[in-house]
Chains A and B, each alone.
Chain A
C-alpha cells in the first residue's frame, strides 16, 4: 500500500510526512503538489494507493475538484480520502461530505500529530 499526500505547500507536505515517518509507518509515501499531479499519479498507481491525504486549496485542480472526480471514476472511488485543509468551516465540511459521502476524514490545519495518526490508522494496510 502507498499513501498519496497532495498539498501545494512544501512545508505542509514535509511536516505531514515527518509525522508519518516518526510514527514508524512502513508504507511508501507519494507526493503531489496539486490536483493535476495527483491525478496523474492516481492514473498510474491507483491499484497500490490505499489512502489519499488531500489539501483543499491548490492550483490547477483543487482538492475538492479532484475528489469530486475520483468519486465518479470507478477505479478511484474506493480509495479512502482524508481532507487535510486549513478551511475548517462547517460549510466546507458539509460540502466535502456532500461531494464524497464516503469521506474518510476531515482534518483541519493546524492539526496535532496524534489527530493525524488516529485519522489514518483505520486505513493502513
Chain B
C-alpha cells in the first residue's frame, strides 16, 4: 500500500470519463467491430439529468438495442415509480441513426421522442426551464445558458465537438427547445415532428428530428375512424386545445361549442357523440341535456360527461348520459368509452 498517495483531481477524472464515453458512443456509432452496444448519449444523459436531479423521481433505464442494417441504436428510458408523474407516463426514446454512406458524408440523424401524458405537460415544461448549474464548484450562468433546455443543447454540442464537430451551430436546436418549453407552436397533447438541418463546414450535415411532447405512443393497429363526428361542449379553452388535437389524432372529426347554447346550434352538424362539461355560462350541461330532449326533431345523441366535478356517479341515471368521467381525462380510457358509442 502506498502511504503518500495524493487524491486525484476529480474534475480531470470527470473530463476523462466524459471523453471516453463520447468515444465509446462514437465506436458504437460507427459500428466498429460488432459493438453497437447501448450507451447513454449526451442527450439521454441530459434527459436523465432532468429526471434525476430536478424531480426526486426514481428512474430505471432500460436500454433497448435495435440493430438495423448498419448502425442504429435506440436508448429508451422509462421513468418508473415516480412521485409526481405516475408510472409509465413519461419516457424518452433517443435514437441515433447512420449508415455507411451517411457516415462518409458525416450525416447523422438524431431523433428524440418524449412521450408524456398531457396532464404533466406544464410540469415537464417547468422542468425544462429550471435553472441548471453545470458544475458543482462553478455556478456560472452564461448568457442564454443556465436552463436545462440549454443544457441539453450545450451538452450535445460538447459531445459532438469531441466527435470532431467543432463548429456545430446549435441555435436552431436551442430555439426549438426554447419554443417547446414556452409552449409555442406545440399543440397541447399532439404529436409534432420537427426536422432541423445543420450545415457544418459545407459538407457535414446533422439532422435533428424531434417528436416531442407526444401525448401517448400511437395505439397499435389504430385505424382511422372515417367521419365519426364528436361534439365537444366545454367553456375551458385549454381543455378544448387539449382534447381537440387529441381526438383529431385518433381519427375523429371534432366540433366545438363553448356552451350549451352553441352546442344546440352545432347539433345540426349531426355529431355521433357529445362530450359535455357541466358548469358553463349561458346554458350549462344540465340545461343542454334538457334542451336537446325537449327540442322536437332533434336526434338524441349519446353523451359522455367530462367534468372536474367529482362524486356524480349517479348522473348516468339521467336519460341520454352514457358515461361520467372526471378531468383530467385519461386518453386511453376516453377512447375506449368513445368507441363504445361510435
Contacts and interface: CB of A to CB of B under 8 A. Distances in A.
Interface in B18-36: 20-21, 23-24, 27-28, 33-36
Contact of B24 (A59, A73, A94, A99): A99
A94 B34 contact: yes
B163 interface: no
Contact of B20 (A44, A57, A59, A69): A69
A43 B21 contact: no
Contacts of B65: 89, 91
Given A42-B8, A69-B13, A94-B35, A47 B21 contact: no
Interface centre among B8, B13, B21, B60 (most CB of A within 10 A): B13
B5 interface: yes
Query: Is chain A's interface secondary structure helix, strand, loop, or mixed overall?
Result: helix
B17 A65 contact: yes
Contacts of A98: 27, 33, 35
Q: How large, as a class, is the contact surface on chain B?
A: 20 to 34
A94 B35 CA distance: 7
A75 B16 CA distance: 13
B194 interface: no
B8 A73 contact: yes
Contacts of B239: none
Contact of B13 (A43, A71, A89): A43
B59 A59 contact: yes
Contacts of A103: none
A23 B309 CA distance: 61
A74 B295 CA distance: 86
Contacts of A87: 63
B2 interface: yes
A39 B17 contact: yes
B20 A72 contact: yes
Nearest to B24: A68
Contacts of B33: 94, 98
Interface string A90-114: 0110110011000000000000000
Given A47-B2, A48-B1, A91-B65, A65 B20 contact: yes
A18 interface: no
Contact of A43 (B2, B9, B52, B63): B9
A46 to B, nearest CB: 6
Given A72-B20, A73-B8, A62 B40 contact: yes
B10 interface: yes
A76 B7 CA distance: 12
A69 B52 CA distance: 22
Given A65-B21, A68-B20, A99-B24, A73 B48 contact: no
A72 B13 CA distance: 9
A66 interface: yes
A34 B330 CA distance: 36
A95 B7 CA distance: 30
Given A57-B61, A60-B52, A65-B21, A43 B7 contact: yes
B14 interface: yes
A76 B5 CA distance: 12
B7 A44 contact: yes
A125 to B, nearest CB: 10
A1 to B, nearest CB: 8
B37 interface: yes
Interface string B28-55: 1000011111111000000010001000
A91 B8 contact: no
Contacts of B16: 69, 72-73
Interface of A: 1, 35-36, 39-40, 42-44, 46-48, 57, 59-62, 64-66, 68-69, 71-73, 75-76, 87, 89, 91-92, 94-95, 98-99
19 contacts: A39-B14, A43-B13, A48-B1, A57-B60, A57-B61, A59-B48, A60-B52, A62-B21, A62-B40, A65-B21, A68-B23, A71-B20, A73-B16, A91-B34, A91-B36, A91-B37, A95-B28, A98-B27, A99-B24
